[in-house]
Structure 1
Amino acid sequence: MKTRFYLLIGLVLVLSQHFAKADTQPLKVAVLPSTDSTTYNLGTPLQKALERLYQETGSYLPSLSEEPLQGFTPIEVSRAMRNQNVGALSFVLLEPERISVFLFDYDHPLQFIVSSKTLDDVPASALDSAHIETKFRAAFKEVLRFHKEERFQELPGARSERVATYMKHSRQDKKIADETRVLFRELASQTDSPLYLGAQIGMSRFRSQNTSSSTVTFGVNAGYQIKPRISAELGVAASTYLIGSLGARYALPFKEEIVKLSIGLDVASVVASITQNSGYGSPNLTYNSPPLKNGSFFVGPGIFFDIPLLGAVLRGDLRFYTGNGTIIVGTYGFVYYL
C-alpha cells in the first residue's frame, strides 16, 4: 500500500514538473528585417542585435528571418506567423528622429506592441552609434514590459471585415508594401509621447432668451493620453468671448479602419470678452441679451473624430454647452503628438 502511495506521489511530481516546464517554454519569435531610413545603414546590425537581446532574456527563442511583414493587418500578421511557425514577430524601425521596436503576439492577433524613443534630443553632431544603442535598448526593455503587462494596441482595420476580406484576396505588391511602411512610421510617431497639441478653426453658435448669434472660432488645445482610450484635454477658444475648457475623452471601440471616434464631456468658463457685436452676448437692450459675465460656467458633451495623417492627426469635433444659455461649437484642425 505504501509503495503504491509513493509511486502515486512520484507520478504527480513528475507530471507537475512537466507541465511547469511546458508553461515556461520560451516563446518563439521571428526577428524580421529592420527598416533603416537614415544614412547609418544599421538595418542588419539592428536585426542581429534585436535577436541577441531576445536571446539574453531567456524567455524568448528568437530566430532571424529574411521575410519582411507584407501588410500591417491581422491577416498578414497571422499569415507571417504561420509561415514561420512562431508565436511572435518583432522588428526595428530606425528613422532620423526616432527608433521603434514592434512586437506581434500570436495570442493577440488583432493587436500589437510598439515602443519609440526619440533621437533628436541631442545635437546631430553628438548622435552616434552609442546613443542609438542606448535608445534601442530602452525601447526593447519597454516592449518587454508592455508584453508582460499585456499592454497592446489595436491593429488598424482589426474590426473591419471589409478590409480583412480585401487583404485576403488582394495581391501583395510594391504599393501595399509602401503603404505599410508609411503606416509603420505613422504609428511610431504617435507613440513618442502621450502628450499632444492641437489647433482648430470653426464656428460657435450662441443662444439665450430672445436672440442668437454665430461667430468664427479659433482654438488651441493640449491633451494627455492617460490610457489607450482615455485622455484629458485643456483648451482655449476665441470668438465673441475667450472661453477656456477642461474635458475628458473616451475613444469608442467601433468598427473603424484608421478613423478614431471619441466622445467627451467638457466644463467651460468665460475668461474674457473680445468683441461686442449686435447679436447674442452684447449689451443690446433691444434684444434684451446682456453679455456673458466673466467666470460664467458651461458644461456639455462632445463628439470627436481623428484621422491619422503623415506627422499629424486631422481632428473634427462638435460640442454642446449649456449654462447661462447654450453654445454649440463645431471645429476642425490638426493634432500633433510630441
Structure 2
Amino acid sequence: MSRFQFRPEHYLLVVAVVTCAFLGIIGGLLIQQNNNGRLPPIPLTGNISFDEKLEWLWKRGPRNWDVLAAGSSMTLNNLYSEGVINELSAGTSYVNSASWSLKIGDTRKFVDYLCALQQPKSVIVICGPMDFYGKNSVEFIQTNNLNFYRATTNYGLLAAQYFDPIYYYKHSQEIREQRRTRASYRTLMFDSGGGVPMDVSYPSIDSERWNEKPRPELIDPAQYIEFERLAVMLEARQIRFICAQSPIRSDAYDASDTVALDRHWQRLSDILKAHGFPFYNIHRSLSLGPESFADYSHLNADGARQFTAALVEQARANIRSQ
C-alpha cells in the first residue's frame, strides 16, 4: 500500500484553506454586527470618537467645506451646527470635524491635513484650557494612514488592514447606543453638520465630571507653540480663523485660578492678534446657569445654542463673508 505524504504544497493548501475560513468567519461576524448596528468604525487610531468622525467624513458625510469647525470635544459638543449653518449664504458648506481628546497640536495637524485637501474660507476652533494640557500618547494624525483610509473604497481591505478583535469586541457593546442617543457623555450621534449637542443636564450628570475644574497649572507651553503654528498656517493660506473660549461653569473654578486663566486667555489673544485674528472669549461675555451645562466645561444642547448664538453675534462678519 502506498502511504500518503504531505508535500510543501499540501501544507500551503491547508494554510490557505484555514486562512480563507478564518477570514470568512470574521467577515460574517462583521456583516452581522453591521446589520445589528453594532459595527464600530475602522480602528484607525483606537479613539472611537476620532475614528467615527473619519468614517462620517469620508463614508457618510460631505467631503467639502467652506466653513470648517475643528478641535476637541469643546468644538464637537459646544458648537451648535444649526446656529452656524443658519448664518451662511445658500450653497456655503459647513462641517464640524472635531472629536474627543484632541490637543491643540493634534488640531493643528488635522486642520493642516484637511486644508490641503480642500481649502476652507474659515476655520472655527472652540478651545478650553484642557486642550493645552500637554500632548496625547497616541499620534492621531498620521498622514499615510489618513491617505490610505481616504483613498480606499473597499471596506474589507480597510477592515483587514486595521483589524483589532479587542477593539471590535469592546466598542460593539456600546456603539449602537452612542449613535442613537444624545443622553450620554459618550454620545456620537452627529447632527447634520457633524456636531453632537448633548442631552445631559443636572441632576442626571456624572458627579466626577461635574465637579472637575480647569487646571491651568497643567498647561504645557509646547501647546502654545502649536497654537501659534496653527495661526501661522491659516494666515499663510489666507483663511479666516475664528477661535473662541466657551463658557466655564461659574462655580467650577476657584478665585485663585482666575489670574492663571486670564493669563492663558491673554496669551491666546496676543498670539492671534499678531497674525491678524481676534479672540472671542465668550466665557467673559455670556453668563450661563448650571442648567446649560453637562459638566464643568461641556455645554448641553441648550447651552450650545446660546453659546453659538453669542459667538455668531460677535463673529458674524467673519462667518458670513464667504
Q: Which range, TM-score by smaller chain?
A: under 0.3
Rg comparison, structure with higher value: 1
With normalisation by structure 2, the TM-score equals 0.25
Give the alignment's TM-score, normalised by structure 1.
0.24
Higher strand share: 1
